């Protein structure tokens, strides 16, 4: 997006506090950091502010122990290319919590939280998603067609969840990296119709009885 005519293109700092908007004039992008919000209501109120522009580069929520649920529609139409929600106490991402990013998100970095519930059913609507990283969470199940339709997906990181993985990773034409160590495989793994060229020696490690 072009921000010409606005200096700076961010919302008023007082209106979005404690979130912080930064603008890089060289790369012409904006980021929004909401790492210090106190609760879900404060996060929602931030996005009800008047934003001069709705297209951002990156959203940050990091090292926050207050937000447990990312609620449906929380971004209120604000779009992000990179979603970085890491090292929080976040447990639930509701259906349509990230719906404003369906056509913009290229990376989802959701690692190091306490996520037990994620709306895998809507993941296919993120048409530009290249990297999906939900490792080191508390998912109990990663369903069969969780990644179906993610034709732009290149990297998939679901390790360190202790989750049951049904195991369909097929028809992902750009997929080059899959990491799902320290989970439980409950069926065979399908990896056909991808661009994966190398499978490491410890890709599958069976436990001893």
**What is 62-102 written as a DSSP string?**
ES-SS--EE-TTTTTT-EEEEEEEESS---EE-TTTTGGGT
Distance CA 36, CA 29 (A): 22
Residue located via tokens 């404003």? 100
Whole-number pLDDT of residue 2 = 54
Whole-number pLDDT of residue 193 = 53
Whole-number pLDDT of residue 191 = 52
Whole-number pLDDT of residue 144 = 79
Q: What angle do CA 20, 100, 126 make, to 5 degrees?
A: 115
Whole-number pLDDT of residue 194 = 57
Distance CA 28, CA 15 (A): 22
Cβ 67 vs Cβ 43: under 8 Å: yes
Whole-number pLDDT of residue 62 = 98
Query: Running along the chain, 209 residues long, what does each successive block of 10 average in pLDDT?
Result: 64 96 92 98 97 97 98 98 98 98 98 96 96 94 87 92 72 87 54 55 47
The Cα-based distances of 139 to 117, 164, 206 in angstroms read: 7, 8, 21
Q: What angle do CA 131, 116, 202 make, to 5 degrees?
A: 55
State whether CATH 3.40.50.10490 applies to domain 13-185: no
Boundaries of every domain in the chain? 13-185
pTM value is 0.86
Whole-number pLDDT of residue 183 = 60
DSSP string, 131-183: EEE--SS--SEE-TTTTTT-TT--EEE--SS--EE--B--S-TT--EEE--SS
């Amino acid at each position: 997006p072009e921000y010409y005519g606005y200096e700076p293109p961010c919302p008023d700092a007082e209106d979005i506090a404690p979130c912080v908007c930064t603008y890089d004039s060289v790369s012409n992008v904006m980021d929004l950091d909401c790492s210090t919000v106190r609760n879900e209501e404060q996060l929602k109120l931030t996005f009800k502010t008047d934003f001069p522009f709705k297209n951002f580069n990156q959203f940050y929520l990091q090292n926050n122990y207050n937000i447990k649920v990312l609620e449906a529609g929380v971004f209120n139409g604000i779009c992000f290319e990179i979603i970085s929600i890491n090292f929080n106490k976040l447990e639930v991402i509701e259906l349509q919590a990230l719906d404003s990013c369906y056509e913009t998100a290229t990376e989802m970095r959701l690692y190091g939280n306490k996520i037990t519930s994620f709306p895998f059913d809507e993941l296919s609507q993120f048409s530009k998603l290249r990297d999906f990283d939900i490792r080191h969470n508390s998912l109990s199940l990663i369903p069969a067609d969780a990644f179906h339709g993610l034709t732009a997906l290149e990297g998939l990181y679901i390790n360190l969840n202790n989750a049951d993985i049904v195991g369909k990773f097929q028809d992902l034409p750009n997929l080059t990296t899959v990491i799902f160590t320290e989970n439980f495989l409950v069926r065979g793994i399908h990896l056909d119709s991808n661009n994966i060229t190398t499978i490491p020696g410890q890709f599958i490690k069976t436990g001893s009885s």
